[in-house]
Structure 1
Amino acid sequence: MSSKEFPSLLLLPPPPTPATRVSLSAAYRPSLQAALTKTRNHDRPTTLFIAVVSPILSGTSSRDKRLSWSHAQSILAGLYSLVAAICADAGIPGEVGGGPGSVDARILLVDDHDPVGRYGEAGNKAAVVANNTAVVDLATFACTYRPWNLILYPEGEAAYRVRASFLECAERRQTILQSQLVAVESGLTMNDKTTAAQAATDIDGASGHGGRGGPQSYQTVCLGGTSRNAGSSKSSRFIVGITGDALLKNKKFAEYVQAWDERALAVVDFVSSLLDLRDEGWKETWGSTGPARSITRREPGRIEAEFRDGTVKLECVEIQDAFGPTITDEGVESLVVSGETRAGGQAVNERRKSLGWKELDVYEVDVLDAQETLDDVEPGSREDYSSKISSTALRQQRANAAAKGLTS
């Protein structure tokens, strides 16, 4: 297959501290805008991986790595909101299955504790090295995510160090042409040393749940959209509840809602971006079989996949109510919700209490809000969610585009 069919990569230096929506916009907006524009192809859909490279994990071995929940989810929510705002301003379809001219942006956190970019023999390792989180180190990322169409990076000393570290490992596994390396405009980063020190403390000493600090390990985690790995020697279960087609018939622009199978496969594909680490990279599968190589079971209303030698099992299940498997599977230990679905998490625990089951630890992520990237607004401070990034708005855009095509 042509190299142009492979995804492109944007390497970003460590985020500002504190990583607010406003500071993330100042630091990354110019780079993201340039990368999305350069990646876009009007003749076909493209994919852009955005790797934020920073020392984000703590722990001395792969089995005890820890990630600050609040810090990580703030970065991801802020960047996804920023990408959505940029795509809206530029008229770039940013959703999965957006067709020609669309850009599927996927954000990865990559751990890097080597500020001078000297990985030595790490890039020669024969096998990939995973840990008990969804975040991998830079050497593993460089070795297992390949090949690329374009490799973009911002101008500036911090980004140059990230690029040098990445290339030191990547070039031992693949040939990277100078024409693939593209410098893009950088933003402005200002760090508050006091906040940075507190962030390090949060990562090293975090505990508890409910969106604060670093979560404990779980065997089974459930949510409607994505999940966390549960650091254990046993297989970890990701249960993703995906609304059934019957419940969506009365949604606005329902004719543009993808069938359940399509939406479930998109979830498998996205999760594979985070967890499917293979020594041979994805040259033989990207754009052809895609995530199919990881699927172990497929039947109406259920798709299962395995990653990392079977240590992580993804279960996409069709749901017909707000509870899904949280009240049919006693083994579920944790639930991830958004601020908008907080009440649903409370209802789940009330039902589990009535069954005599243990209540779930609930983790809350920020609602994606493109407006917050422009205004100095704290995430969660505005709870009417009137400006959230919604699937209804995306379907309306498709409907408008289709109508325009018919009338032009």
Structure 2
Amino acid sequence: MESTNTKSSALLLLPPIPHPPSFAALKAAYNAPLLTCLRAVGHSHKPASQRTLDIALPCPHLQNSSKVTRESLYALTQTVVANLYTLLCIISAREGFDVEGVDGIDVRIILLAYPRDGKSFEPSEGRAEDELEGPIVQVGSLARCHKRWSTVYSVESEQGEQLLKRFLSIAKTNCPVQKLRGGIVQVSPTQGEKDHDTTAQTKHHKHVAVGGTFDHLHIGHKLLLTMVAFTVDPTSATEENKAVITIGITAEDLLKNKKYAEFLEDWHDRYQSVHKFLHGIISFDPANEHPESAREIRNPGPNGHAVLVQYPSGLLIRYVEIWDPFGPTITDEDIDALIISAETRAGGKAVNEKRQEKSWKTLDVLEVDVLDADEQEEEAGSTKAQVEGVQEAFQNKLSSTEIRKMQAERSKGRSKV
């Protein structure tokens, strides 16, 4: 495998999430440390490939995730990840940080299964391989993994100190630690924290799919990919059918009419960007940067071109070149769940109509939020023009078209010099 640049710039250990994890609550808790870290990493003199910020997010509701279905944990987890990525994007838009370009900061949220009190720690049950693979990891797996951070940031609070102490007691690192001023982690005493959704029957999912162009990977893509990896249930050592993630990536020929098409990334570049991100939140092997194996296949017929990546636990990620809006969802009967954004709901419905025509089981369709700053960005003292400017910059960071447009403008500017 091509290097995924595991020499990360920084790791930020946040205190456990507020409850309920509304955007306002996450902003109150995390705005200050996130701003400090983004400034430090963004102003670093390191090469662009090393300007990475891994954000460890302790989630009490994930502590016993091995005992329930991932779907039962989906709604709360999606809300937390979406709100935190929204906050990151708003901070970046306001401060002018690049979190979307190849030369920008590669921000990744890592989900920690961690108790709120930091004491009633109960390691998950399962195979050794499962402990080394995310997107849900224990503190020990994070501390022992192959990633090497130049700086570890921690938040100054009782919970922050507990997490840092546990991390350092396990980690084999001498990297510097910087402690940051934190915010207020709000936990409502009137609302008991539920580990999982008990309001509806949920299913185990062994084969989860998503599709898209994934051009110039941005934070919206990262939310989608995180939830795809999250939704697939780990398999036991005795199960024959191992977990599969299918990522449909649109073929180049279908994108020729896109705006600024000359700045579209080719299929292999897009696959590698997607894999680099997924690998960053999945692989926590202590000794091996790349425990996975990969092979490229080119078979005749639809969806015949793919890169297959296998991890030691048996997890298979299929990166498939797709030539129509449906991809493998209507050629592979074994797929059982589809992750979409709320704005592509009609696409999920169309997929299931096609599957019904084949007398196949319909897919469980799970949504991620469309990230939006309109209702979130109400910074005290900001003028209407400033708020609108942040909102526009926010949307530009979540649009592959706008990213290509900026590249075109930079290219035009260089040609005049």
Where on the TM-score scale, by shorter chain, does this alignment land: which range?
0.7 to 0.9
For residues 301-334 of structure 1, give each alpha carbon's deviation from its aligned partner in whole angstroms, at most 9, with x where no partner exists. 4111112x14210001111221111111111111
TM-superposed deviation, 1:111? 0.6
For residues 116 and 319 of structure 1, the distance between their equivalents in structure 2, rounded to whole angstroms, comes to: 45
TM-score by structure 1 length? 0.81
TM-superposed deviation, 1:235? 1.1
Residue pairs, 1:157-236, within 5 angstroms: 157-170=158-171, 174-177=172-175, 180-195=176-191, 197=192, 200-201=193-194, 203=196, 205=198, 207-208=200-201, 215-224=202-211, 226=225, 227=228, 228-232=231-235, 233=239, 234-236=241-243
* Pair 1:402-2:411 in alignment: yes
Q: 1:316 to 1:138 in 2, by over 3 A?
A: same
Q: 1:265 to 1:354 in 2, by over 3 A?
A: same
Contact kept, 8 Å, 2:252 with 2:267, in 1: the verdict is yes
Query: Tell me, what secondary structure is at the counterpart of 1:322?
Result: coil
Show the counterpart of 2:294. Answer: 296
Show the counterpart of 2:384. Answer: none
Q: 2:73 aligns with which of 68, 77, 100?
A: 68
Show the counterpart of 1:379. Answer: none
Show the counterpart of 2:331. Answer: 328
Contact kept, 8 Å, 1:11 with 1:50, in 2: the verdict is yes
For residues 344-384 of structure 1, give each alpha carbon's deviation from its aligned partner in whole angstroms, at most 9, with x where no partner exists. 001111111111111111111111224443259xxxxxxxx
For residues 177 and 245 of structure 2, the distance between their equivalents in structure 1, rounded to whole angstroms, comes to: 36
Contact kept, 8 Å, 1:229 with 1:312, in 2: the verdict is no
Identity %: 31
Q: 1:21 to 1:270 in 2, by over 3 A?
A: same
Contact kept, 8 Å, 2:132 with 2:283, in 1: the verdict is no
TM-superposed deviation, 1:84? 1.7
Contact kept, 8 Å, 1:12 with 1:52, in 2: the verdict is yes
Show the counterpart of 2:258. Answer: 251
Show the counterpart of 1:265. Answer: 272
For residues 330 and 82 of structure 1, the distance between their equivalents in structure 2, rounded to whole angstroms, comes to: 38
Show the counterpart of 1:305. Answer: 309
Contact kept, 8 Å, 1:68 with 1:202, in 2: the verdict is yes
Show the counterpart of 1:98. Answer: 102
Where does the alignment leave 5 or more consecutive residues of structure 2 unmatched? 212-223, 299-304, 380-393
For residues 178 and 93 of structure 2, the distance between their equivalents in structure 1, rounded to whole angstroms, comes to: 24
CA RMSD of aligned residues (A): 3.0
Query: Tell me, what secondary structure is at the counterpart of 1:56?
Result: helix
Residue pairs, 1:75-90, within 5 angstroms: 75-90=80-95
Q: 1:369 to 1:271 in 2, by over 3 A?
A: same
TM-superposed deviation, 1:136? 1.4
For residues 117 and 168 of structure 1, the distance between their equivalents in structure 2, rounded to whole angstroms, comes to: 14
For residues 1-32 of structure 1, give each alpha carbon's deviation from its aligned partner in whole angstroms, at most 9, with x where no partner exists. 9x994331011111112212222122212111
Show the counterpart of 1:18. Answer: 20
Where does the alignment leave 5 or more consecutive residues of structure 1 unmatched? 209-214, 283-290, 377-385
For residues 116 and 310 of structure 1, the distance between their equivalents in structure 2, rounded to whole angstroms, comes to: 28
TM-superposed deviation, 1:239? 0.4
For residues 246-275 of structure 1, give each alpha carbon's deviation from its aligned partner in whole angstroms, at most 9, with x where no partner exists. 121221222222111011111112221222
For residues 400 and 82 of structure 1, the distance between their equivalents in structure 2, rounded to whole angstroms, comes to: 27
Letter in 2 for 1:143: R
Contact kept, 8 Å, 1:117 with 1:168, in 2: the verdict is no
Residue pairs, 1:334-349, within 5 angstroms: 334-349=337-352
Q: 1:218 to 1:127 in 2, by over 3 A?
A: closer
Q: 2:287 aligns with which of 277, 280, 299?
A: 280
Show the counterpart of 2:371. Answer: 368
